């Protein structure tokens, strides 16, 4: 499209932007004790993280559609500038309320950084190279998972917690410059229709749903009234139904329903949802097992999770290299089988199981996520043409985050740490055993869905029929 040299510059810019969005969660989590200590807001601890995720989730499909209408470069720059403005303001926040609002602004921009880079890669590269580059891009999330806590700790200890926000500025500006000077898009210039009613109803509906899911985790201790949660769920249902009605009539829907007539996209989204339900359970509950059941310190649990962080980018890179040779469905099925083995292994473990088995199963789980999620990203971006690719990739990213939100909420209801102030290992072990039995059953379903993925040739035929 722009020559090898230009394409490399664009790819570097996209890698940098993806890394900034990927590392934001882990690096901020590490700094939260220092932040709440200085700003005096321990009660608002979770909102600093939650509001960023909520804003990111809600804006992901919006940026996807706008990038189809106005071009990838323009919407990427808009999102990146909003993200950097939120980062700068977060760094100068003087109260927790200010920080929460500025993090919301940061999340409004992050929706572009988490979805548009994958779309641009889909535009720039032919299928054989696309799989490899998207594999490398997917591996960035695993790299961020490893480096985030370490970088956050170093900045907090030796500089300031404010530096974790300021560091986004030079890298973000560099990414914007590289992309703006290297990416040259050609698309039809015509009057564009923006689906404002769809954006409004989707935002209200999804915010109400995700906020209700967040509060549902705290409902058991009586700190949140059940009628508040019911009202939020009711609001979510009403506005999502309104959104569906609007999308069926609008000329430029935020989420085009024609995407769901494409079997590759429908199956890939279902698979992505299930994988991310399982993914969030493994990431959040395995450290709890190490500390609460095995009685090991937090540092030890972090080290035990390193195999997952290593295997994930490894699986992504392998998927990118093998997809063109072996096929999307084959890679996805292999990844699903690895996940099934690891999930069954976790469900059979107890307090006396050797830690080496835990490490092996954790490695297999990370390998599975790298193989499966990368292949599904390539599948979605390859199943439609340019005019729908942004919406397709954005819908898949949205489904993944929705899966993580659903997983942590639903399985959180099954978690039992005991009645005392401290964790009761027996109660925790029993509840985690139940949780991982359900995870193993979901993994069986993931295998069947992976087998049901159409071949790429079938997806391409559907692409022609849909468009």
Q: What is the pLDDT of residue 189?
A: 58
Give the percent of the chain with pLDDT over 70: 88
Q: Which CATH number fits domain 256-467: 1.10.3720.10, 3.40.50.150, 3.40.50.970, 1.20.1250.20?
A: 1.20.1250.20
Instruction: Give the residue with greater pLDDT, 458 vs 195.
Output: 195
pLDDT in tens, 371-419: 998 889 888 888 877 677 878 888 888 888 788 778 877 887 787 766 6
Neighbours of 426 (CB within 10 A): 11
For residues 126-146, average pLDDT: 77
For residues 54-74, average pLDDT: 84
Instruction: Give the residue with greater pLDDT, 105 vs 284.
Output: 105
| SS3 category, 319 | helix
Q: What is the pLDDT of residue 372?
A: 92
- The structural domains of the chain, with segments of one domain joined by +, span 1-182, 196-251, 256-467
Question: What do you get for the CA distance between the two ends of the chain, in Å?
Answer: 22
For residues 87-93, average pLDDT: 93
Neighbours of 457 (CB within 10 A): 9
Query: Is residue 464 scored above 60 in pLDDT?
Result: no
Query: Is residue 463 scored above 70 in pLDDT?
Result: no
Instruction: Give the residue with greater pLDDT, 10 vs 194.
Output: 10
Give the percent of the chain with pLDDT over 90: 22
**Highest-scoring range by mean pLDDT, 18-22, 131-135, 329-333:** 329-333
Q: What is the pLDDT of residue 405?
A: 75
For residues 36-53, average pLDDT: 72
CB 424 within 8 A of CB 344: no
Q: What is the pLDDT of residue 462?
A: 45
Asked if domains 1-182 and 256-467 share a fold, the reply is: yes
pTM recorded for the entire structure: 0.77
Query: Is residue 130 scored above 70 in pLDDT?
Result: yes
Query: Is residue 298 scored above 70 in pLDDT?
Result: no
Query: What stretch of H or E contains 118?
Result: helix 96-124
Distance, in Å, from the CA atom of 11 to the CA atom of 17, rounded to the nearest integer, reads 10
Q: What are phi and psi of 218, to 5 degrees?
A: -100, 0
Selection from 378, 383, 389, 395 nearest residue 71 by Cα? 389
CA dist 430 → 106, 283, 416, 434 (Å): 40, 18, 8, 6
Query: Is residue 457 scored above 70 in pLDDT?
Result: no
CA dist 427 → 22, 179, 353, 354 (Å): 34, 53, 17, 20
For residues 18-28, average pLDDT: 80
Q: What is the pLDDT of residue 7?
A: 85
For residues 288-303, average pLDDT: 73
pLDDT interval class at 344 (50, 70, 90): very high
Query: Is residue 139 scored above 50 in pLDDT?
Result: yes
DSSP labels for 153-189? Answer: HHHHHHT-TTHHHHTHHHHHHHHHHHHHHH-------
Q: What is the pLDDT of residue 393?
A: 82
CB 172 within 8 A of CB 77: no
pLDDT interval class at 273 (50, 70, 90): very high
Q: What is the pLDDT of residue 425?
A: 77
CATH of domain 1-182: 1.20.1250.20
Q: What is the pLDDT of residue 1?
A: 46
Q: What is the pLDDT of residue 42?
A: 59
Distance, in Å, from the CA atom of 441 to the CA atom of 272, rounded to the nearest integer, reads 16
Distance, in Å, from the CA atom of 340 to the CA atom of 335, rounded to the nearest integer, reads 9
Mean pLDDT over all residues of the chain?
82
CB 359 within 8 A of CB 300: no
């Amino acid at each position: 499209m722009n020559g090898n040299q230009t394409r490399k510059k664009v790819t570097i810019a996209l890698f940098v932007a993806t890394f900034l969005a990927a590392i934001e969660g882990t690096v901020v989590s590490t700094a939260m004790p220092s932040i709440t200590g200085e700003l005096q807001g321990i009660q608002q601890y979770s909102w600093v993280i939650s509001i960023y995720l909520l804003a990111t989730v809600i804006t992901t499909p919006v940026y996807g559609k706008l990038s189809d209408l106005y071009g990838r470069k323009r919407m990427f720059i808009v999102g990146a500038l909003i993200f950097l403005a939120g980062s700068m303001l977060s760094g100068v926040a003087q109260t927790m309320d200010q920080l929460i609002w500025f993090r919301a602004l940061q999340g409004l921009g992050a929706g572009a950084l988490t979805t548009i880079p994958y779309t641009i890669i889909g535009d720039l590269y032919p299928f054989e190279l696309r799989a490899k580059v998207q594999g490398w891009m997917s591996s960035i999330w695993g790299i961020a998972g490893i480096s985030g806590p370490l970088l956050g700790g170093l900045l907090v200890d030796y500089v300031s917690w404010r530096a974790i926000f300021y560091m986004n500025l030079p890298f973000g500006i560099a990414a914007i410059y590289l992309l703006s000077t290297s990416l040259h898009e050609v698309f039809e210039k015509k009057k564009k229709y923006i689906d404002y009613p769809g954006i409004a109803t989707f935002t209200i509906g999804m915010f109400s749903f995700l906020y209700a899911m967040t509060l549902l985790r705290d409902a058991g201790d009586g700190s949140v009234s059940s009628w508040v949660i019911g009202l939020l769920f009711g609001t979510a249902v009403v506005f999502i139904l309104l959104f569906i009605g609007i999308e069926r009539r609008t000329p430029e829907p935020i989420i085009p329903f024609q995407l769901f007539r494409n079997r590759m996209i429908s199956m890939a989204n279902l698979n992505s949802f299930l994988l991310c339900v399982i993914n969030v359970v493994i990431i959040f509950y395995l450290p709890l097992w190490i500390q609460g059941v095995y009685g090991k310190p937090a540092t030890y649990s972090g080290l035990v999770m390193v195999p997952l962080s290593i295997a994930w980018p490894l699986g992504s890179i392998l998927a990118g290299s093998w997809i063109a040779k072996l096929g999307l469905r084959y890679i996805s099925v292999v990844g699903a089988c690895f996940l099934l083995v690891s999930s069954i292994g976790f469900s059979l473990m107890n307090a006396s199981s050797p830690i080496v088995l835990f490490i092996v199963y954790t490695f297999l789980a990370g390998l599975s996520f790298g193989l499966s999620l990368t292949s599904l990203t390539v599948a979605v971006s390859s199943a439609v043409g340019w005019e729908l690719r942004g919406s397709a990739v954005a819908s898949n990213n949205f489904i993944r985050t929705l899966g993580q939100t659903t997983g942590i909420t639903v399985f959180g209801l099954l978690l039992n740490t005991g009645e005392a102030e401290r964790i009761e290992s027996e109660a925790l072990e029993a509840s985690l055993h139940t949780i991982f039995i359900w995870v193993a059953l979901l993994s069986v379903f993931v295998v069947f869905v992976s087998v049901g993925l159409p071949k790429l040739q079938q997806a391409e035929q559907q692409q022609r029929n849909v468009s």
